[in-house]
Structure 1
Amino acid sequence: MTTSKITKNYDFIDTMRFIAMIGIVMEHSSPFLGLKLITLHDQIIQTVSLQFIKFGTIVFFILAGFLIGDKFNEYTTKQYLGRRLHTTFRPWIFWVSVLIVLFYIDQSVRYFKGSEVLGFSHPLEYILNRLHFIIVETSFWFIINFMICISILLVFRKYMYNIAFGAILSVLSLFYSVNLYFHWLPTGHTTALVGFVFYLWLGVILHKYFAEFQNWVNKQSFLLISLTLLLTFVISCVETINLIQLGSNDSGNTLRFSNIIFSLVSFVFLYKYCNFSLIEKLKPRSMTFGIHLLHHILIIIFLPMILGPLHIVYATQSVWNLFFLQFAVFALIYAATYALVYYIGKSKKWKWTVGQ
C-alpha cells in the first residue's frame, strides 16, 4: 500500500470521528439517559432513541487504533506515549480542573444562600467525590481509559499483529458482555478498563490490512450492508429491553455483545457511505477533541440553568416529549460546544486546551 493511498483515506477518519462525536454528544445530553421507564411501550421508545447513536465509542477506539498503526514506524513506545500525554492528557487535566472550579462556585453560591454544603464542611470528601464522578460518570472517563488501553497495547507491542493476542483481547471484551448478566464486576462501561483494548487492536490490524478491507467493502452492496445494520440495530434493542426486564441498571452498556456487532457494522456503513464533503467544511480534525472535552461541562453545569427556569423536569415528561427533547437539547449543546471550541481554537494562548 502506498503512502499516498493511506493519506488520501485519512479523510474518512476525520469524517467518522465527527459523526461518532455527534452520536456521543446526543447520548450524553439525552433526557432518556438514566431514566427508569415502566411500560414496555415507553421502554421501546427510550431504547430506540438511545440505540441508534450507540456506535460512537467503539468506532472511536477503532479509529484511534488505526492512527496508532500509522505512527508505529515513526515513534518509539516512549515517544508515542509522551506525545499523547502532552497533546491529550494536558488538555484533559485543564478541563477537569475547570469543572472542579465550577463545582466549587456552585457550592459557594449555595453556602452564601445559607445552605449547608459538603464542599465547605468536608472539603476532602467533596473533592474526592467530584473526581470520582468526573472520571467514572462523565465523558472524561474516555481519556483515562484510552490512555490505559494504549499503554497495554504498547507494552505488548511485539505481539501486536499476533492473532492469538487479538483473540485474548476479544475474550476480555466479551467478558464484560457476559458480566452484564452475572454481575461479577461493576457493569458500567466506564469502569471496563481492559474492555476496549480489543478495538484499538482491531484498528491497528485495519491499518495493516487496509487495502484488503477496502477491496472487501467495495464488493458489498448497499442493500446487504443496510439490512445488516438494521438487523443488528433491532437485535441490540431487543437485548436492551431484555436487560431492562431482568432488572439491569446498565441495560444500554456499550459492551453488550449485540451493540459490539452493531458498532462494527456501523463502522463499515459510515466508512462506505458517510464520507460527506460538507463535514470537511466543519473542520472535524481540529474540532472533535475539543467538543469531546467541553460538551459534558455544558450538560452538567449550564443545561440545568436553562431547563430550571423553563420548569422542564425529565421525570415528569411523556415519552414522546422526551423523544423530541432529545433532539432539541442535543442541538443546543452541540451548537454551544462547537462555538466555544471554535473561538478557543482561534486563541494562540488557549488553543492547546482544545487540542489545536
Structure 2
Amino acid sequence: MTTKNTVKNYDFIDTMRFIAMIGIVMEHSSPFLGLKLNTLHEQIIQTVSLQFIKFGTIVFFILAGFLIGDKFNQYTTKQYLGRRLNTTFKPWIFWVTIFMVLFYIDQGVRYLKHSDALGFTHPLEYIFDRIHFIIVQTSFWFIINFMLCITILLVFRKYMYNLMFGAILGLLSLFYSVNLYYDWIPTGHTTALLGFVFYLWLGVILHKYFDQYNEWITKQPFWLLFGATLITFIISCAETINLIHLGSNDSGNTLRFSNIIFSLVSFLVLYKYCNFEAIEKLKPRSMTFGIHLLHHILIIIFLPMILRPLKIVYANESVWNLFFLQFAIFILIYASTYTIVYYIGRSKKWKWTVGQ
C-alpha cells in the first residue's frame, strides 16, 4: 500500500470517533441508565436500548492507541505527554470548572429560596462530593483514565510491541470482567483504572500491522461480520440480564466480557462499512472532543430544567415511553451540544476549550 493510500485511510478515525460519540451521548442521556426495572419484559427493552450503543468507549481507546502508534516515532515520552496535557487536559480543567460553577449557581438559587443548599451549609463536604461526582460518575472520567493509560503505555514503551506485555494488559481488563460477579473491588467502569490500557495497546498494534489488517478485513464477507455483530449483541444482552438477576449494581458495565467482544466486532463493522462521506461535512475531527466535554453538563444541569416543567419522571414512565424518550432526549442533547461546540470553535479566543 502506498503512503498516499495509507494517509487517506486514516480518515476512518474521524468517522469512527464521531459514530462512537453518538453512542456515548445516547447512552449518557438515556432515561434507562441506572433505572431498576422489575419485569423481564422491561429489562429486555432496557438492555436492548442500551446495548446497541455500548461499543463507543472501547472503540475510542482503540482509535486513540492507533494515533499513539502513528506518533510513536515522532515524539519522546515527555514531549508526547506534554503535548497531550496542553491539548487535552487544559480544556478538561476548564469545563470541570464550568461544571462546578453551574452547580454553585444552582445552590445559590436554592439558598435564596430557603431550600436545602449543601453548598452553603456544608461547603467542604459539598465541593468534594461534586468533584468526586464529576470525575467518577460523568464522562469526565474518560480523560483522567485516558491520560493514565497513555502514561502506562509510554512508560513501558520499550515493551510496546511485545505480545506478552499485551497479554498482561488483556488479563488486567478481564479481571474487571470477572470482578462483576465477585465484587472484589468497586465495579464501575469509570474506576477501572487499568481496565482500558489493553485497548489502547491494541490500537498501537493495529497501526503497526495496518497494511495486514486492511488486507484481512477486505476479505471478510458482509454476512460474517454482521452475523458476528448480531450474535455478540444477543450474548451481551443475555449477560446483562443475567447480572441483573444476580443482583449486580453494574449490570451494563463496559468491561463485561461479552461487551468487549461485541465492541471489537463493532469496530470491524464500523471500519469496513461506516466511512460515510456525509459525516465529513459535520467536521468530526474538530467537533468530537468538544461534544465529549460538554454533553454531560447539558444532561446534568440543563435537561432537568426541561423535564421538570413537563412533569417527566423516568421512574413513573412506561418502558415504551422511556424507549422513545431515549431517542428524543438524545436528539435534543446532541443537537444542542453540537451547536454550542460549533460556535465556540468559531471563536479565536475560546476555541482551545473544545480542542480546536
The TM-score range, normalised by the shorter chain, is over 0.9
Residue in 1 aligned with 2:140?
140
Give the 5 Å matches for 1:1-356.
Answer: 2-356=2-356
Distance 1:145 1:175 in 2: 17
Distance 1:184 1:5 in 2: 48
Provide the C-alpha distance between the structure 1 equivalents of 2:117 and 2:268, rounded to a whole number of angstroms. Answer: 50
CA distance in 1, matches of 2:5, 2:195: 32
Task: Say what the alpha-carbon RMSD is for the aligned residues.
Answer: 0.6
Cα displacement (A) at 1:29: 0.1
Superposed CA offset, 1:259-296 (max 9, x none): 00000000000000000000000000000000000000
- Gaps of at least 5 residues in structure 2 are none
- Name the aligned partner's letter for residue 92 of structure 2: W
Task: Report deviation, 1:125.
Answer: 1.2
After superposition, give the CA deviation of every residue in 1:92-140 in whole Å (9 maximum; x if it has no partner). Answer: 0000000000000000000000123111112111111000000000000
Which runs of structure 1 show a deviation greater than 3 angstroms over 4 or more consecutive aligned residues?
Answer: none
TM-score (norm. length: structure 2): 0.99
Code of the aligned partner of 2:107: Q
Give the letter aligned to residue 9 of structure 1. Answer: N
Amino acid at match of 1:224: L
Offset, 1:143:
0.2
Offset, 1:6: 2.5
Distance across 2 between alignment mates of 1:149 and 1:224: 32
Report the TM-score, using the length of structure 1 for normalisation. Answer: 0.99
How many residue pairs were aligned?
356
Opposite residue 33 of structure 1, the aligned amino acid is L
- SS of the residue aligned with 1:219? coil
Report the alpha carbon displacement of residue 66 of structure 1 after superposing the two structures with TM: 0.0
Read off the aligned partner of 1:77 and give its amino acid letter. T
Q: Which runs of 5+ in 1 are unaligned?
A: none
User: In structure 2, what is the Cα distance between the partners aligned to 1:72 and 1:2?
Assistant: 20
Distance 2:351 2:292 in 1: 15
One-letter amino acid of the counterpart of residue 206, structure 2: L
